Structure 1
Amino acid sequence: MDDVTAILDHMNAAQREAVSAPQGNMLVLAGAGSGKTRVLVHRIAWLMQAEGLSPYAVLAVTFTNKAAREMRTRLEALLGLSLRHVWVGTFHSIAHRLLRTHWQDARLPQHFQIIDSDDQLRLIKRLLKENTIDDERYPPRQVQSFISGCKEEGLRPHQVNVNGDAYLMQMVDLYERYQLTCERGGLVDFGELLLRSLELLRDNPALLAHYRERFGHVLVDEFQDTNTLQYAWLKLLSGMQTPMTVVGDDDQSIYGWRGARIENIRRFEQEFSETKTVRLEQNYRSTSAILESANALISHNAERMGKELWTDGEQGEPISVYGGFNDLDEARFIVDTIRDKVSEGFKRSEMAILYRSNAQSRVIEETLIRQGVAYRIYGGQRFYERMEIKNALAYLRLLLNRNDDAALERVINVPARGIGTRTVELLRERARLDNTSLWQALHDGLHDGSLKGRAGNAVRVFSDLIERLDDETSMLALHEIIDHVGERSGLIEHHRNEKGEKGQARVENLEELVTAAKAFTQGEALGNAEIGEGMVALEAFLAEAALNAGDHEADEFEDCVQMMTLHSAKGLEFPVVFITGVEEGLFPHKMSLEEPGRLEEERRLCYVGLTRAMQKLYLTHAEVRRLHGKETFPRPSRFVRELPEQHLEEVRMRGQVSRPLSVSRPQPSWRQQGVEAAGDLPSLSLGQRVSHPVFGEGVILDAEGEGERARVHVSFEGEGAKWLVLGFAKLTPL
């Protein structure tokens, strides 16, 4: 590039200021859609071209390999040079590079191996077994989380303060045994990469001095997501002397649950001398209505560094708020609106459905499938393909058919009950020789004594569990069968012990399976056909689940709707966005009300969701939601009330009527459709309380049809929800 000033072409004033700032410490507060990647890339180019910095003297740190590749590609295109030797990469890849180069100083074998999360978990399970430690009291995933958490805080086993706590002492002992096993085998996990590289530099002053002299400038992307160890690593490497450019947004810090420290972005300004702060506030993504709403929402968070997004683009449409009667109605509205948008000329891939909890996807997925709308789950799995759901379904399949070998193999040791791969292999071999099922081979082995000792006892416990589950569920309704199996098999407790967001999400998904069963027997899953109950219903439900788990997801390059959690949506943008389940207890999540700082993080997550939308944003909620196996009557989220009234419109009757939404008064029942009187039949409306001669008092949740053939969906106290034909129901309005 001949003209250095060309680097600043087509940039706004704040971007030019950030790119061309003289060497020194700089914090770039980059709002959503403000072109931060462009600024980072052009900043590196400026340092090389205008400041004369060698490509070998640049260190640029990102959080994902994708971001690192994009940065390198754009930089090479901008400069017209091959930059293979520039240090651009993730924290882990740069730490790995240091350890490979200086393996002896790091006290590692030359050909050490990196283990991923699954390998790490298997190693921990083996340690628990070898040391006869109860994996119910010390669940492997919890031990894994403890070890990773310690490493993220920069703590070795001897540095963890146990304060005489016996449980913590055992966890530290496991950490120590795990560390010894890794060192003996030349194994390095992801947390170890960064901790070991920090120790490498800290304990080798000459090496540290070499890298401090080599790197003339350090640049860090997504600085708000750094954890304690990453921040300490950067401080050590820079020596607080090497100039640093860090780019981040405190309003988009949404990973506190996995170790990110939002305070790092504030500490940088305070701890690094003469830090220049530049704010990128001009947004190139969203309409003014969306940005002003996002600004109003995030202003409710305290201790922000301060930033106001704006655009010189159009005002745009107001944000549409839809309140469904229930989650089914919410899903129908979303899918109907998507079909309308497609008819207007939008591509399906230009639309995204975002949700706070993975469990919410199930109802929406089923509605998309029924209406033939192609979709993909971004960064996750479809509901019926999630590991915990497949495990629960395998238990249910065994209740119907003990000879289902695939189901038996899947859950014979889930949760862990001491049945190892060797025992399963013996069962397979016997089944093959005798031409029988694994279940029969299992019983034959117990009968003739070939399965004995601890393995034999564990197999007998599993066999007894399946028989007992069969007995205990023989007279139960479908949703009760699934609820009972989830609890008594230990699956719920197993995932509850995982702690953290992942374990919580798995518990919520298992509870949602109970909800799916309720909807199924009430006919809502199959066009209101009557299903029946008990084992007959279970067989039909398993068949429907298998069909829903079939190849409904769109191919990678097919034009399809994108579905994802709000956390997965960070960094993405779509012309049309639906944020679903905007209700108290769901979003903000009920867990956020119990921990300090979590509510503000939920609000930042909502801010991230709002700013994904480019042209049109929909917020949806339900007056009645069946989630986690329970029926609730949630209030609309406080986040809706925190948005400016002038930028909201209420959508009613599946989009047929809209009017300004008032948030200054209690929320009304947003849909007034009901069943009109006909002959001697009463006139009923949704949300109305009614009385039934057999089922008692209840609330009308939904209604369809006309006259005597009209059906109403009523939630009865103590009896659950039932569909009733109005001509026969003998309902009395209260």
Structure 2
Amino acid sequence: ENYRSHSNILDAANAIISHNQNRLGKNLWTSAGKGEPVRIYEAYNDTDEAQFIVDEIKMLHAEGTSLGDIAMLYRSNAQSRVIEHALFSANLPYRVYGGLRFFERAEIKHSLAYMRLIANANDDTALLRVINFPTRGIGARTLEQLQVEARAANCSLWQAAVNRVGDGKKGVKGIEGFVALVREMTDQAYGISLSEVAEIATALSGLKSYYQSTKEGEDRIENLEELVTAAVAFTNQDLGNHNNVDGDTEQDLLTQFLSHASLEAGEHQANVGHDALQLMTVHASKGLEFRTVFISGLEEGLCPHEQSMYESNGLEEERRLMYVAVTRARQRLYLSHAQSRMLHGKVRYGIPSRFLDEIPEELLKRLNSKPVKRSGSPNYNELPHRMNNAKSSEQKNAMPWRIGQSVDHKKFGNGVVVSYEGSVEDMRVQVNFGNAGLKWLALEFAKLTPI
């Protein structure tokens, strides 16, 4: 027996997990009564989804629910950024459980430090953070000597470095290499968009390459890519979409973005003991319970995560995670998904997660859409077998695009790869083109361009 959740929530969880083949036939039950239906919200985009969640939280709080008894769950850490921004804008206190707020994460701080150096190379704090990260052979003694030289010349650390090595030397270690790198980044950043500056700060700096070889690399790289998305969103929100602008305008935009990042990384996270909304990944939520739970980003490729398609039993593990997430709620559960989402700086059109289809309709309350059979929607029961078990290495090599990848088609426009079917000779790819709908294309004639 589960003493926490009402039966509508448990029935939804049991219905989802029943689609797993390798499971013991044990269902949770409760004597607490049916309770409220599971609420589903279909958002236009990720910003709309975040705003809906904020509005509902305000309403619940006004009706007497403490913020500490409301949890916001998401599949991966990078998804927290857009929600954090909405909470910050609404002045709602929140706490990231088992992790850091987006702009406080080490990889984001490193990227922002490189962006600060592009904006102003004389920023000593930014320089000290990344002069030897990723490591380039600048030890504590060298740094100490540089600080002595800066004090003696009454100048910034950057000026002291330039005094020592001039323009530096590309591709070498030490201070020479660092000076050359910052000069190259600054030169490349002139006159380009803010999101492209963020790309330079994450890629040219060597941060992405560094994290590719670390234990939590995938998560950190997702966060770095979300920083590019944050830059796109900031540009669109504050100054319209700048395509043809002079360097000074973009430099000014960069300064504003860095100020915005400092604000959001400020003292907004609630102190321990104060009433605050709880934000966390599904993994971090295990063993916890809340009166009200929001689970966001329920789209194919996010939840279930696209990586699970390529792993043995990956989909079953994703379904177990969804089961955990759903059973964190005692009385009220919200599930949300977005028709489009900004990922890695590009708009990606998604389709609702298969987990939503696995919940019986009688348990649901759709807040803004009617259940409509999506013509041409993928056969989810077949998909895991096609992706995990039945693929030979030859078939896998024949798949030029990963599930969830954004692609472009001359006729249908931008879309996202949903699934594959068929043998090597007659393989087809299914792509969701948003307004143009789901399309099956013969791989031989698909003519898709990765975005």
TM-score of the alignment, normalized to the shorter chain, above 0.5: yes
1:129-144 pair list within 5 angstroms: none
Q: Check the 8 A contact 1:509/1:628 in 2, yes or no.
A: no
Q: Check the 8 A contact 1:319/1:649 in 2, yes or no.
A: yes
2:24 to 295, 305, 311: 305
2:269 aligned with 1:553: yes
1:570 to 286, 292, 305: 286
2:54 aligned with 1:340: no
Q: Which amino acid aligns with 1:402?
A: A
2:70 to 343, 351, 363: 351
- In the alignment, the residues of structure 1 paired with residue 10 and residue 138 of structure 2 have an alpha-carbon distance, to the nearest angstrom, of 56
Change (3 A) 1:663 1:288: farther
1:662 to 363, 367, 371: 371
Q: Which moved more, 1:388-397 or 1:637-646?
A: 637-646
State the SS of the aligned residue for 1:568.
Answer: helix
2:329 aligned with 1:613: yes
Q: Check the 8 A contact 1:291/1:611 in 2, yes or no.
A: yes
Q: Which amino acid aligns with 1:445?
A: R
Q: Once the two structures are superposed, what CA deviation does each residue of 1:364-392 show, in whole Å capped at 9, x if it has no partner? A: 11111111111111111111110000000
2:99 to 375, 380, 383: 380
1:409 to 103, 123, 128: 128
1:493 to 195, 209, 212: 209
1:505 to 219, 222, 234: 219
- In the alignment, the residues of structure 2 paired with residue 377 and residue 536 of structure 1 have an alpha-carbon distance, to the nearest angstrom, of 31
Q: CA deviation at 1:698?
A: 7.9
Q: Check the 8 A contact 1:297/1:639 in 2, yes or no.
A: yes
State the SS of the aligned residue for 1:431.
Answer: helix
1:628 paired residue number: 344
Q: CA deviation at 1:436?
A: 1.4
Q: Once the two structures are superposed, what CA deviation does each residue of 1:73-96 show, in whole Å capped at 9, x if it has no partner? A: xxxxxxxxxxxxxxxxxxxxxxxx
Change (3 A) 1:289 1:457: closer
Change (3 A) 1:298 1:663: farther
Q: CA deviation at 1:630?
A: 2.5
The structure number with the bigger radius of gyration is 1
Q: Once the two structures are superposed, what CA deviation does each residue of 1:214-262 show, in whole Å capped at 9, x if it has no partner? A: xxxxxxxxxxxxxxxxxxxxxxxxxxxxxxxxxxxxxxxxxxxxxxxxx
Q: Check the 8 A contact 2:339/2:349 in 1, yes or no.
A: yes
How much identity, in percent, do the aligned residues show?
49
2:297 aligned with 1:581: yes
2:143 aligned with 1:419: no
1:167-246 pair list within 5 angstroms: none
Q: Which amino acid aligns with 1:516?
A: A
Q: CA deviation at 1:306?
A: 2.4
State the SS of the aligned residue for 1:557.
Answer: coil
State the SS of the aligned residue for 2:340.
Answer: strand
Change (3 A) 1:407 1:564: same
Q: CA deviation at 1:629?
A: 2.5
Q: CA deviation at 1:446?
A: 2.4
Q: Once the two structures are superposed, what CA deviation does each residue of 1:632-690 show, in whole Å capped at 9, x if it has no partner? A: 101000111111111112112xxxxxx7x53755599xxxxxxxxxxxxxxxxxxxxxx
Q: Check the 8 A contact 2:150/2:156 in 1, yes or no.
A: yes
Q: CA deviation at 1:329?
A: 0.1
- In the alignment, the residues of structure 1 paired with residue 412 and residue 5 of structure 2 have an alpha-carbon distance, to the nearest angstrom, of 48
Q: Which amino acid aligns with 1:601?
A: E
- In the alignment, the residues of structure 1 paired with residue 295 and residue 219 of structure 2 have an alpha-carbon distance, to the nearest angstrom, of 18
State the SS of the aligned residue for 2:274.
Answer: coil
Q: Once the two structures are superposed, what CA deviation does each residue of 1:575-597 show, in whole Å capped at 9, x if it has no partner? A: 00000101100011111111111
1:445 to 164, 167, 176: 164
- In the alignment, the residues of structure 1 paired with residue 218 and residue 289 of structure 2 have an alpha-carbon distance, to the nearest angstrom, of 27
Structure 1 residue runs of 5 or longer lacking an equivalent are 1-281, 653-658, 669-695, 700-714, 717-734
- In the alignment, the residues of structure 1 paired with residue 412 and residue 317 of structure 2 have an alpha-carbon distance, to the nearest angstrom, of 40
Q: Check the 8 A contact 1:359/1:627 in 2, yes or no.
A: no
- In the alignment, the residues of structure 2 paired with residue 345 and residue 383 of structure 1 have an alpha-carbon distance, to the nearest angstrom, of 29
State the SS of the aligned residue for 2:134.
Answer: coil
Q: CA deviation at 1:555?
A: 1.6
2:260 paired residue number: 544
Q: CA deviation at 1:475?
A: 2.0
Change (3 A) 1:484 1:538: same
Q: CA deviation at 1:433?
A: 2.4
- In the alignment, the residues of structure 2 paired with residue 427 and residue 318 of structure 1 have an alpha-carbon distance, to the nearest angstrom, of 64
Q: Which amino acid aligns with 1:423?
A: T
2:115 aligned with 1:396: yes
Q: Number of paired residues? A: 378
- In the alignment, the residues of structure 1 paired with residue 300 and residue 255 of structure 2 have an alpha-carbon distance, to the nearest angstrom, of 36
Q: Once the two structures are superposed, what CA deviation does each residue of 1:71-127 show, in whole Å capped at 9, x if it has no partner? A: xxxxxxxxxxxxxxxxxxxxxxxxxxxxxxxxxxxxxxxxxxxxxxxxxxxxxxxxx
1:435 paired residue number: 154
- In the alignment, the residues of structure 2 paired with residue 437 and residue 319 of structure 1 have an alpha-carbon distance, to the nearest angstrom, of 58
CA RMSD of aligned residues (A): 2.6
Q: CA deviation at 1:445?
A: 2.4
Q: Which amino acid aligns with 1:348?
A: L
Change (3 A) 1:635 1:348: same
Q: Once the two structures are superposed, what CA deviation does each residue of 1:596-633 show, in whole Å capped at 9, x if it has no partner? A: 11111111100000000000000111101012333210
Q: Which moved more, 1:369-378 or 1:423-432?
A: 423-432
Q: Check the 8 A contact 1:397/1:542 in 2, yes or no.
A: yes
- In the alignment, the residues of structure 1 paired with residue 279 and residue 152 of structure 2 have an alpha-carbon distance, to the nearest angstrom, of 47
1:470 paired residue number: 186
Change (3 A) 1:364 1:446: same
- In the alignment, the residues of structure 2 paired with residue 422 and residue 365 of structure 1 have an alpha-carbon distance, to the nearest angstrom, of 40
Q: Check the 8 A contact 2:112/2:201 in 1, yes or no.
A: no
Q: CA deviation at 1:697?
A: 9.9
- In the alignment, the residues of structure 2 paired with residue 403 and residue 485 of structure 1 have an alpha-carbon distance, to the nearest angstrom, of 17
Q: CA deviation at 1:302?
A: 1.5
Q: CA deviation at 1:483?
A: 1.1
Higher RCO structure, 1 or 2 (CA under 8 Å, sep 6+): 2
State the SS of the aligned residue for 1:300.
Answer: coil
2:200 paired residue number: 484
Q: Check the 8 A contact 1:645/1:663 in 2, yes or no.
A: no
State the SS of the aligned residue for 2:284.
Answer: coil
State the SS of the aligned residue for 1:436.
Answer: coil
Q: CA deviation at 1:429?
A: 1.8
Change (3 A) 1:537 1:314: same
- In the alignment, the residues of structure 2 paired with residue 384 and residue 496 of structure 1 have an alpha-carbon distance, to the nearest angstrom, of 20
Q: Which amino acid aligns with 2:82?
A: V
Q: Which amino acid aligns with 1:610?
A: V
2:427 paired residue number: none
- In the alignment, the residues of structure 2 paired with residue 343 and residue 330 of structure 1 have an alpha-carbon distance, to the nearest angstrom, of 20
Q: Check the 8 A contact 1:579/1:619 in 2, yes or no.
A: yes
Q: Which amino acid aligns with 1:307?
A: K
Q: Which amino acid aligns with 1:396?
A: M
2:320 aligned with 1:604: yes
2:1 aligned with 1:285: no
Q: Check the 8 A contact 2:341/2:348 in 1, yes or no.
A: yes
Q: Which amino acid aligns with 1:626?
A: M
State the SS of the aligned residue for 1:522.
Answer: helix
Q: Check the 8 A contact 2:136/2:173 in 1, yes or no.
A: no
Q: CA deviation at 1:352?
A: 0.3
Q: Which moved more, 1:307-316 or 1:456-465?
A: 456-465
| TM norm structure 2 | 0.79
Q: CA deviation at 1:394?
A: 0.3
Q: Which amino acid aligns with 1:472?
A: Q
Q: Which amino acid aligns with 2:323?
A: Y
Q: CA deviation at 1:505?
A: 1.0
Q: Check the 8 A contact 2:150/2:157 in 1, yes or no.
A: yes
1:277 paired residue number: none
State the SS of the aligned residue for 2:71.
Answer: strand
2:306 to 579, 584, 590: 590
1:54-93 pair list within 5 angstroms: none
- In the alignment, the residues of structure 1 paired with residue 376 and residue 342 of structure 2 have an alpha-carbon distance, to the nearest angstrom, of 20
State the SS of the aligned residue for 2:285.
Answer: coil
Q: Check the 8 A contact 1:360/1:627 in 2, yes or no.
A: no
Q: CA deviation at 1:458?
A: 1.8
Q: Once the two structures are superposed, what CA deviation does each residue of 1:462-499 show, in whole Å capped at 9, x if it has no partner? A: 11011011111212111111112311111111112225
1:515 to 223, 229, 232: 229
